[in-house]
Amino acid sequence: MSQPVNDGNARHAATGTAPGTAAGTGADDARDTQGLQDGPQAREAGEYVPEGGLARTAKILRFLLKYRNAGVFSGLDLDAATAEHGIPPQTEGRPEQFVSDLEALGPTFVKIGQALSTRPDMVPPEYLAALERMQDDVAPVEFPVIRQAVEDALGVRLNKAYATFDETPLGCASLAQVHRATLRDGREVAVKVQRPHAVEQIRADLDALASIADRVDHSTRLGRRMRFGDWVHEFRKTLLAELDYRTEAENLDRFARHFEPYPELTVPAPVWDLTRTRVLTMDLVTGTKVTDISGMRRAEEPLENLAEALMRGYLDQTFVYGEIHADPHPGNLLVTPDGRLAIFDLGMVAHVPPRQRDHLLKLLFAAVDGRGEEVAGEAISMGTRLEDFDEERYMREIGQLVSRYAAHQSGGGAAQMHTLSEGRLVLDLTRIATACGLRTPPELSLLGKTLLSLESVCHALDPEMDVKRIVEDHLDHVMRERLRKSLSPANLAGEMIELHGLLRDAPRKLSDVLSLLADNRMQVRISGFEDSQILEALQKIANRVAAGVVTAALILASALMMKVDAGPQLFGYPAIALVLFLIGAALGITIVFSALFSDRRAKPHEERAPR
Q: Of 348, 357, 350, 349, nearest to 319 (Cα)?
A: 357
| 29-35 mean pLDDT | 35
Q: What is the pLDDT of residue 44?
A: 41
According to the model, what pLDDT value does residue 9 have?
40
Three-class HEC string of 17-50: CCCEEECCCCCCCCCEHHHHHHCCCCECCCCCCC
Phi, psi at 177, each rounded to 5°: -140, 155
Which three-class secondary structure state does DSSP give residue 564?
Answer: coil
Whether pLDDT at 5 is above 70: no
Instruction: Return the axis-axis angle of helices 304-319 and 442-461, rounded to nearest 10°.
Output: 170
pLDDT band per the 50, 70, 90 thresholds, residue 566: confident
Q: What is the structure's pLDDT at 51?
A: 56
Q: What is the mean pLDDT of residues 10-23?
A: 40
> Amino acid letter at 513?
V
Instruction: Let me know: does 276 contact 311? Beta carbons within 8 Å.
Output: no
Beta-carbon contacts of 99 under 8 Å, excluding residues fewer than 6 positions away, are: 113, 130, 131, 133, 134
Query: Rounded to two decimals, what is the model's pTM?
Result: 0.69
Q: Which amino acid is at 179?
A: H
- Chain mean position to CA 597: 36
Q: Which range has highest mean pLDDT (181-190, 352-361, 368-377)?
A: 181-190
Would you state the pLDDT for residue 411?
52
The lowest-confidence range among 74-83, 109-118, 326-335, 554-563 is 74-83
- Report the pLDDT value the prediction gives residue 93, as an integer from 0 to 100: 52
| Mean pLDDT, residues 284-307 taken together | 82
92 against 329, higher pLDDT: 329
Scanning 320-390, the segments in alpha helix (DSSP H) are 354-368, 372-382
**Mean pLDDT, the chain, integer:** 77
Strand order in 333-335's β-sheet?
A: 20-22, 285-289, 333-335, 341-343, 265-266
- Give the three-state DSSP class for 220: coil
Residue 4 has pLDDT above 50, yes or no: no
Q: What is the pLDDT of residues 48-91, one digit of tens each?
A: 445 556 777 788 878 877 776 555 654 333 343 344 444 443 43
Stretch among 18-27, 92-101, 448-457 having the lowest mean pLDDT:
18-27
pLDDT above 50 for 577: yes
Q: Are strands 341-343 and 265-266 parallel, antiparallel or unpaired?
A: parallel
> What sections of 437-488 are H helices per DSSP?
442-461, 467-486
pLDDT digits (tens, 9 = 90+) for 505-558: 888 888 888 888 888 888 877 655 555 566 667 777 887 888 888 888 888 888
Q: Pairing state of beta strands 171-172 and 349-351?
A: unpaired
CB 310 within 8 A of CB 457: yes
Higher pLDDT, 545 or 40: 545
- The candidate with the shortest Cα–Cα distance to 64, out of 284, 309, 228, 257, is 228
Helix axes 107-116, 125-132, angle to 10 degrees: 130
> Mean pLDDT across the stretch 265-272?
94
Highest mean pLDDT among 130-144, 177-191, 358-372, 456-470: 177-191
Secondary structure of 515-552 in HEC code, one letter for each residue: HHHHCCCCCCCCCCCCCCHHHHHHHHHHHHHHHHHHHH
Residue 464 has pLDDT above 70, yes or no: yes
* Percent of the chain with pLDDT strictly greater than 70: 77
Higher-scoring residue by pLDDT: 323, 12 = 323
Angle between helix axes 354-368 and 422-436 (nearest 10 degrees) is 110
486's CB contacts (< 8 A; 6+ apart) are none
Q: What is the pLDDT of residue 483?
A: 76
Is the CA virtual torsion 566, 568, 570, 572 positive or negative? Answer: positive
- On whether the CB atoms of residues 176 and 248 are closer than 8 A, the answer is no
Question: Of 502, 240, 468, 503, which is closest to residue 367 (Cα–Cα)?
Answer: 468
Rg value, the chain, Cα: 31
pLDDT at 144 over 50: yes
What does the pLDDT look like over 225-254, one tens digit per residue? 667 777 787 778 778 877 889 999 999 999
Bigger pLDDT: 192 or 21?
A: 192
Residues 358 and 363: their CA atoms lie apart, in Å, by 9
